[in-house]
Amino acid sequence: MADSTVEITAQCLCRQHTFKASIARSSLPIKAVTCHCHSCRHMTGALYSSDAPWPAADAGEAIINSTLQRYVFSERLTVRFCGTCTSPMFWEWPNKSQDKISVFTGVLANHTDPHNVQDLVQITDAMFVGDTLDGGATPWLRKPNGADGAKARLWMGEKDKSEELPHDWLSPSSLPEASKKSDLEQVAIRCRCKGVDLVMRRWGPELEAEGETKATSWIIGPESHKGLGSFDACDSCRIASGADVFNWTFALFRQLGFAGTDKTTASGFPISSTELTAALSAKERDSRFGTLACYNSSPGIYRYSCSRCSACVFYGSDAKPEFADVALGVLEAPDGARAEDFVSWNFGGDMIWRNDIVGTWREGLIKSMESEAEAWRIERGYPKNFYRVRKENAKTTGS
């Protein structure tokens, strides 16, 4: 049959690196595993990593011999990522005799197989969920396979080598109260290799006094002073992180600072994307920026990441230069991966940029995540957050 095989494509954000492989249609779906460990979150900037075996007949030799950058993640694993846009593309397993390469599912092309888009990838397992403390992304990844509704098995640690957990392993009573105010004044921002070591301060009266209240009303909770937590299905964010869905929180650049500073200390950190981009390219660059790098992904759009371990860190734009999108996976919050002491999550409803996946094999995954997030919000008794309430009120009033 002419369509007995399916060609899959892995491509980085800047398109400098493109790899293709064929797989028998009868072998679909490709089995993928999500990892929620502390290291994967801080290496991608997402709340998890997701990978599947790369089905190349040459066992991935083209990838192994490519110009992709290497970051030694552990004794067993090396990340291969683009040196220009820092998209993590593959895991390399140097000591394995076979299946030496696995692909980050986020870099797989959406329209891989237009004749059968529903069954390209199936997530079978989620491992190291114990690292998250609060469950991380697992509540909305309980039934990640839209085509058949199959559940992913949850593992406290490594797959098949640790305790298997029930899907309700974290009861609502064991989680933070969504409406509870926190005394935590700042949270650390660190990539996997710790080359990026910054802080994000809580929005407070001293910033409100400077006249920014109206400008931040869409990203900062008016009572909790927590930043919005969003779900992003856009093509660029998934490729840049290697994760199929990315989670951002939001802040003003003036809330960001270098490690070791607090809200009473002038940190010297840039207060806009314009200033940060210029500072990172300066001849006499401040050493406190560490490995933070900037990639101008399209006109007026800036993606800041670690040049050594590939972690997504910030997103900025010329349209709103004072605002920073902050990758949730690089936050180090004492209450868990979702950083609920600092973040007001918009659970339920449509993800932003979901039109990027309509009609593709990811559509079932996205729909499942949306419905699972809403079901879990209701199950937990988590109220609709300020952003969702405002949007729903605007639809009702027509304003």
Phi-psi region of 109 (alpha: psi -120 to 50; beta: other; left: phi over 0): beta
- Is the predicted pLDDT of residue 377 greater than 50, yes or no? yes
Tokens of 289: 């920026």
The closest alpha carbon to 264, from 178, 206, 350, belongs to: 206
Higher pLDDT, 137 or 179: 137
Asked which of 146, 173, 200 is the last residue of a domain, the reply is 173
196 and 60 in a single domain? The answer is no
Strands 292-298 and 301-306: antiparallel
pLDDT of residue 20: 94
Domain's final residue, options 110, 140, 173: 173
Q: Residue 397 has what pLDDT?
A: 74
pLDDT the model gives residue 317: 97
Nearest-10 Cα torsion for 176, 179, 185, 187: 50
Whether residues 226 and 264 share a domain: the answer is: yes
Residue 213 token pair: 């209240």
For position 26, what pLDDT does the model report? 87
Task: Check residue 350 and give its pLDDT.
Answer: 85
Residue 41, Cβ neighbours under 10 Å: how many?
Answer: 29
Residues 121 and 255 occupy one common structural domain: no
Residue that finishes a domain, picked among 124, 152, 173 = 173
Q: In the structure, what pLDDT confidence band is assigned to residue 348 with cuts at 50, 70 and 90? A: confident
- Closest to 314 in 3D by CA, of 275, 350, 348: 275
Q: Is residue 179 part of a domain?
A: no
Q: Are residues 137 and 220 in the same domain?
A: no
Domain span at residue 114 reads 5-173
The answer to whether the pTM exceeds 0.75 is yes
Structure token pair of residue 356: 């990027």
Asked if residue 1 has pLDDT above 50, the reply is: no
Judge contact between 337 and 330, C-beta under 8 A.
Answer: no
Residue 80 lies in a domain: yes
Number of Cβ within 10 Å of residue 102's Cβ equals: 21
Rg (CA), the chain: 21
In this structure, the answer to whether residues 210 and 160 fall within a common structural domain is: no
Q: Does residue 278 carry a pLDDT above 60?
A: yes
Residue 22 lies in a domain: yes
- Whether residues 161 and 305 share a domain: the answer is no
Q: What is the pLDDT of residues 133-152, one digit of tens each?
A: 999 999 999 889 876 778 99
Share of the chain above pLDDT 90, in %: 67
The DSSP H or E segment spanning 335 is: none
* Cα 289 from Cα 267, distance rounded (Å): 12
Gap between the Cα atoms of 22 and 230, Å rounded: 35
Which CATH number covers residue 304? 2.170.150.70
Residue 292 in domain: yes
Give yes or no: residues 13 and 95 share one domain: yes
Mean pLDDT, residues 175-191 taken together: 80
For the chain, give the mean pLDDT: 89
The answer to whether residues 218 and 157 belong to one domain is no
Q: Work out how many domains the chain is built from and give that number.
A: 2
pLDDT at 240 over 80: yes
What does the alpha-carbon distance between residue 398 and residue 396 come to, in Å, rounded to a whole number?
Answer: 6
Q: How many CB atoms lie within 10 A of CB 324?
A: 30
In a domain, 181, yes or no: no
Tens digit of each residue's pLDDT (9 = 90 or more) over 60-89: 889 999 999 999 999 999 999 999 999 999
Residues 19 and 133 reside in one and the same domain: yes
Flag whether 360 is in a domain: yes
* 166 preceded by a cis bond (ω within 30 of 0): no
Mean pLDDT value across residues 6-20: 95
Residue 364 and residue 326 share a domain: yes
pLDDT at position 178:
63
**CATH number assigned to the domain comprising residue 33:** 3.90.1590
178: in domain: no
Q: DSSP labels for 187-251?
A: EEEE-TTSS-EEEEEPP-HHHIIIIITTTTTTTB-TTT-PEEEEEE--HHHHHHHSSSSEEEEEE
The verdict on 80 and 151 lying in the same domain is yes
Q: How confident is the model at residue 223 (pLDDT cuts 50, 70, 90)?
A: confident
Residue 378 belongs to some domain of the structure: yes
Q: Return the closest-CA partner of residue 52 out of 3, 95, 10.
A: 10
Least confident piece of the model among 157-161, 213-217, 289-293, 376-380: 213-217
Closest alpha carbon to 139 in 173, 170, 106, 179: 170
169 and 285 both lie in a single domain: no
Query: Read out DSSP for 99-137?
Result: --EEEEGGGB-TTS-TT--S-SEEEEEEE-GGGGSS-TT
